[in-house]
């Protein structure tokens, strides 16, 4: 078997706009028959106009064909097995018509190799790289593709074979390995520090799959103790003679003890390894069994039991990782359990996130806190400042509230789609949605005894205001003939005694007949007539919820997990949307047709279609 130890590294571009994907694959023989074929390695990368998930699935399919076909016939030599596997893999690639169409923009880079003892066989697809460090010199095993050549490559080239020495160090990588200085790469590789170096120093490398093969360092064997030192010259001859006769016996005894100790240690290691492998095999079977039972539970909506089985499977997988067996299978199981968990949580990957508004270049000193939607408008607010962006004209501008007035919400003005209501901590002001108009007029101010407000929502003929005391207040109004609002008396809507008794601290809320509040522990609670009636704990802590009377669903943002959870008005989960860019988002809003979702992150508003 191979005397070389593999180390793996994958670097992926975290940008949500990048769909490129890279991965490493190390396959070890699964049984005694497969030992005849040794190890199989692949460093692979794919980029295309499709999503990152689709690119990852393509790589998984390619390497699955490669591995299955390589280990299919274990009575042939490794070179024959690899040649057969590459032929089948090329056939598979040729059959993928949707990927080979020019519109797909497909680019593949794969370096595949097999290693049995010292015999190495390599094949390349695209501009991947294989380098060897021998006698201090770093050389390409397969010459790099000519500079500027951009011919699509969708099949593996001829196999290159050779014999490794005991001191060789090998690198299989996708093309961005060339961004490393050659001398630095050789130095780190020689000192077995390349992977560790790249984990922290990968400037300029956006995506990379890399496998290093380094000589295995043998453990020093046990040796018998040195013979006893001779005694001083004053020893009696008889005693010396006696010692001379006993010395061979002493050496034999020492050797026997040393061999016995070595044998005992070897037997112990062998026994422990055998026990560990048996445990690993049992765990593997149990995880697979648990995983297979979950889909049936999800079909009958038995989510509680499905979650229990998933938790058990994850615990067993963790133990399997500790034992260190079946690495490649563990990776596959981890991916499958992650997908199962996403199915359990009804998570749907979002692949079409776009930038709707980017304020970076003209927003010095502006710190956005929330967003709202108007007729063809996106409004971003924070502090005293509001930015209105016209989606048709692709232009916008800043306006400011009164001095020392923090904007807490922007609401649709009832029966006037061309205007909005800007709610600050103390006031309500009208705002024309024409991006060229100035800030509107103040139509209501809180009295000295009223609380300072931190959020607002509108429903029917009332504006509901969330005070800093965590109580909700109702401000009724009537619409005059001129579309002006005539406000009534502010009244406490929440049952204050109940809030005090149950510690229901509301940090965010939305209104649709009932009021849906988000408590400080991230639990969504429905309030009816000022009292809590229904609750939904999503297990992950939500930070913002959104709905209106025209929306059939509620949208809960969980920035820590990068999720938006969609619930119906009975607080049943409909689905979850996931995207890396949702991590760290601050607010979310959805258009009236519930087709477009907008979310605020930093000074950028992103959107995606549902």
Q: How far apart are CA 467 and CA 453, in angstroms?
A: 4
Is the domain of 195 the same as that of 267?
no
Q: What is the mean pLDDT of residues 181-197?
A: 82
Of the given ranges (80-84, 362-366, 467-471), which has the lowest mean pLDDT? 362-366
Res 422: pLDDT = 94
The total number of structural domains that make up the chain: 3
Is the domain of 203 the same as that of 284?
no
Higher pLDDT, 477 or 497: 477
- pLDDT of 123 > 90? The answer is yes
Q: What is the mean pLDDT of residues 255-262?
A: 38
Residue 235 lies in a domain: no
What residues form DSSP beta bridges with 600? 587, 605
Q: Answer whether 121's CB lies under 8 Å from 160's CB.
A: yes
Q: What is the mean pLDDT of residues 152-176?
A: 87
Is the domain of 173 the same as that of 319?
no
Residue 242 lies in a domain: no
Confidence band for 67, pLDDT divided at 50, 70 and 90 = very high
Which residue is associated with the tokens 């360092």?
217
Is the domain of 285 the same as that of 382?
no
Q: What is the mean pLDDT of residues 413-426?
A: 89
Last residue of a domain, one of 344, 379, 400: 344
Q: How far apart are CA 174 and CA 130, in angstroms?
A: 9
pLDDT digits (tens, 9 = 90+) for 464-483: 999 988 889 999 999 876 66
Residue 509 lies in a domain: yes
Using alpha carbons only, give the angle 214, 55, 12 rounded to the nearest 5 degrees. 50
Confidence band for 263, pLDDT divided at 50, 70 and 90 = very low
Can you give the CATH number for the domain in which 535 is found? 2.130.10.10
Residue 251 lies in a domain: no
pLDDT digits (tens, 9 = 90+) for 514-546: 889 888 778 898 888 888 888 888 777 888 999
Q: What is the mean pLDDT of residues 71-97?
A: 90
Res 172: pLDDT = 94
- Residue (of 400, 405, 386) closest to 445 by Cα position: 405
Residue 557 lies in a domain: yes
> How high does pLDDT run on average in the chain?
82
- Residue (of 558, 468, 475) closest to 507 by Cα position: 468
pLDDT digits (tens, 9 = 90+) for 19-45: 899 999 989 888 888 889 999 999 999
- pLDDT of 103 > 60? The answer is yes
- pLDDT of 318 > 80? The answer is yes
Q: Residues for the chain: how many in total?
A: 610
Q: What is the mean pLDDT of residues 459-464?
A: 92
Q: At a CB cut-off of 8 Å and minimum separation 6, what does 225 contact?
A: 254, 258
Q: Answer whether 67's CB lies under 8 Å from 44's CB.
A: no
Q: Answer whether 71's CB lies under 8 Å from 37's CB.
A: yes
Res 256: pLDDT = 38
Q: How far apart are CA 14 and CA 580, in angstroms?
A: 8
**Cα radius of gyration (the chain):** 34
Q: What is the mean pLDDT of residues 262-280?
A: 55
Is the domain of 497 the same as that of 530?
yes
Is the domain of 56 the same as that of 195?
yes
What residues form DSSP beta bridges with 371? 380
- pLDDT of 53 > 60? The answer is yes
Res 437: pLDDT = 65
Q: Answer whether 433's CB lies under 8 Å from 410's CB.
A: no
Q: Answer whether 130's CB lies under 8 Å from 170's CB.
A: yes
- pLDDT of 226 > 50? The answer is no
Q: How far apart are CA 180 and CA 198, in angstroms?
A: 10
- pLDDT of 406 > 90? The answer is yes
Q: Per 3-state DSSP, what percentage of the chain is helix, strand, and coil (rounded to 5)? A: 30, 35, 35
On the CB side of 83, CA atoms within 13 Å amount to 9
CA 377 vs. chain centroid, Å, equals: 32
Q: Which domain holds residue 136?
A: 1-218
Last residue of a domain, one of 344, 368, 388: 344
Q: Answer whether 22's CB lies under 8 Å from 45's CB.
A: yes
Query: For residues 526, 529, 530 and 531, what is the CA-based torsion angle, rounded to 10 degrees?
Result: -60
Res 536: pLDDT = 86
Q: How far apart are CA 321 and CA 325, in angstroms?
A: 7
Is the domain of 359 the same as that of 340?
no
Is the domain of 380 the same as that of 519?
yes
- pLDDT of 80 > 70? The answer is yes
pLDDT digits (tens, 9 = 90+) for 170-186: 999 998 888 887 888 88
- pLDDT of 219 > 60? The answer is no
Res 173: pLDDT = 92
Last residue of a domain, one of 289, 317, 344: 344
Quick one: what percent of the chain has pLDDT higher than 70?
Answer: 86
Higher pLDDT, 153 or 235: 153
Confidence band for 63, pLDDT divided at 50, 70 and 90 = very high
- pLDDT of 167 > 60? The answer is yes
Q: How far apart are CA 353 and CA 597, in angstroms?
A: 10
Confidence band for 58, pLDDT divided at 50, 70 and 90 = very high
Res 350: pLDDT = 86
Assigned token pair, 404:
């020392």
Res 548: pLDDT = 87
Confidence band for 499, pLDDT divided at 50, 70 and 90 = low
- pLDDT of 426 > 90? The answer is yes
Is the domain of 137 the same as that of 190?
yes
- pLDDT of 224 > 60? The answer is no
Residue 243 lies in a domain: no
Assigned token pair, 306:
């499905």
Residue 452 lies in a domain: yes
What residues form DSSP beta bridges with 525? 517, 535
Q: Answer whether 502's CB lies under 8 Å from 519's CB.
A: no
Q: What is the DSSP letter of 167?
A: T
Residue 455 lies in a domain: yes
Is the domain of 389 the same as that of 468?
yes
Is the domain of 268 the same as that of 206?
no
Q: Answer whether 45's CB lies under 8 Å from 20's CB.
A: yes
Res 335: pLDDT = 83
- pLDDT of 512 > 50? The answer is yes
How many other CB atoms sit within 10 Å of the CB of residue 347? 19
Q: How far apart are CA 171 and CA 4, in angstroms?
A: 12
Strands 573-578 and 347-349: parallel
Can you give the CATH number for the domain in which 23 is found? 3.60.40.10
Distances (CA, A) of 38 to 35, 41, 69, 83, 306: 5, 10, 14, 15, 39
- pLDDT of 148 > 90? The answer is no
Confidence band for 243, pLDDT divided at 50, 70 and 90 = very low
Q: Answer whether 571's CB lies under 8 Å from 526's CB.
A: yes
Is the domain of 336 the same as that of 370?
no
How many other CB atoms sit within 10 Å of the CB of residue 540? 16
Of the given ranges (266-270, 514-518, 603-607), which has the lowest mean pLDDT? 266-270
- Residue (of 287, 333, 332, 335) closest to 313 by Cα position: 287
Q: Answer whether 28's CB lies under 8 Å from 280's CB.
A: no
Res 147: pLDDT = 55
């Amino acid at each position: 078997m191979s005397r070389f130890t593999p180390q793996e590294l994958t670097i992926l571009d975290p940008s949500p706009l990048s769909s490129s994907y890279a991965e490493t694959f190390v396959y070890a023989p699964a049984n005694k028959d497969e030992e005849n074929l040794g190890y199989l390695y692949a460093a692979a990368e794919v980029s295309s106009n499709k999503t990152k998930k689709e690119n990852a699935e393509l790589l998984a399919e390619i390497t699955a064909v490669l591995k299955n076909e390589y280990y299919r016939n274990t009575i042939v030599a490794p070179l024959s097995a690899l040649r057969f596997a590459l032929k089948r893999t090329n056939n598979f690639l040729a059959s993928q018509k949707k990927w080979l169409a020019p519109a797909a923009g497909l680019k593949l880079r794969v370096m595949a190799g097999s290693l049995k003892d010292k015999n190495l066989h390599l094949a390349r697809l695209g501009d991947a790289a294989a380098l060897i460090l021998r006698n201090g010199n770093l050389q390409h095993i397969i010459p790099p593709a000519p500079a500027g050549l951009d011919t699509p490559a969708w099949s593996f080239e001829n196999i290159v074979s050779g014999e490794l020495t005991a001191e060789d160090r090998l690198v299989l990588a996708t093309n961005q390995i060339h961004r490393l200085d050659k001398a630095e790469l050789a130095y780190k590789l020689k000192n077995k520090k390349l992977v560790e170096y790249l984990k922290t120093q990968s400037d300029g490398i956006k995506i990379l799959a890399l496998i290093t093969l380094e000589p295995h360092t043998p453990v020093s064997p046990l040796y018998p103790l040195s013979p006893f030192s001779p005694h001083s010259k004053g020893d009696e001859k008889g005693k010396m003679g006696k010692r001379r006769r006993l010395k061979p016996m002493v050496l034999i005894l020492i050797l026997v003890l040393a061999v016995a100790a070595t044998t005992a240690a070897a037997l112990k290691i062998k026994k422990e390894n055998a026990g560990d492998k048996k445990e690993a095999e049992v765990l593997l079977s149990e995880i697979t069994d648990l995983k297979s039972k979950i889909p049936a539970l999800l079909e009958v909506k038995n989510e509680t039991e499905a979650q229990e089985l998933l938790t058990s499977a994850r615990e067993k997988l963790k133990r399997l990782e500790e034992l260190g067996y079946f690495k490649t299978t563990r990776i596959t199981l981890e991916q499958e359990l992650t997908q199962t968990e996403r199915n359990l949580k009804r998570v749907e990957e979002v692949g079409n996130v776009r930038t709707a508004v980017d304020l970076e270049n003209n927003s010095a000193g502006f710190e956005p806190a929330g967003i709202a939607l108007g007729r063809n408008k996106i409004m971003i607010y924070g502090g005293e400042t509001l930015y209105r962006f016209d989606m048709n004209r692709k232009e916008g501008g800043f306006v400011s509230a009164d001095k020392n007035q923090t904007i807490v919400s922007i609401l649709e003005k009832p029966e006037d789609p061309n205007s909005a209501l800007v709610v600050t901590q103390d006031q309500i002001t009208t705002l024309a949605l024409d991006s060229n108009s100035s800030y509107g007029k103040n139509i209501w101010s809180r009295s000295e005894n009223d609380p300072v407000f931190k959020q607002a929502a509108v429903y029917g003929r009332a504006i509901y205001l969330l005070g800093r005391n965590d109580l909700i207040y109702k401000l009724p109004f009537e619409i005059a003939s001129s579309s002006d609002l005539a406000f009534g008396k502010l009244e406490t809507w929440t049952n204050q005694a109940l809030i005090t008794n149950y510690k229901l601290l509301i940090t965010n809320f939305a209104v649709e007949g009932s009021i849906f509040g988000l408590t400080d522990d991230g639990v969504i609670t429905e309030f009816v007539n000022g009292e809590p009636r229904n609750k939904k704990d999503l297990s992950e802590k939500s930070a913002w919820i959104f709905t209106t009377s025209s929306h059939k669903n509620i949208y809960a943002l969980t920035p820590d997990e990068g999720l938006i959870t969609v619930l119906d008005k009975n607080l049943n989960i409909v689905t979850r949307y996931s995207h890396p860019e949702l991590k760290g988002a601050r607010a979310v809003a959805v258009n009236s047709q519930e087709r477009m979702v907008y979310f605020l992150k930093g000074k950028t508003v992103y959107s995606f279609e549902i």
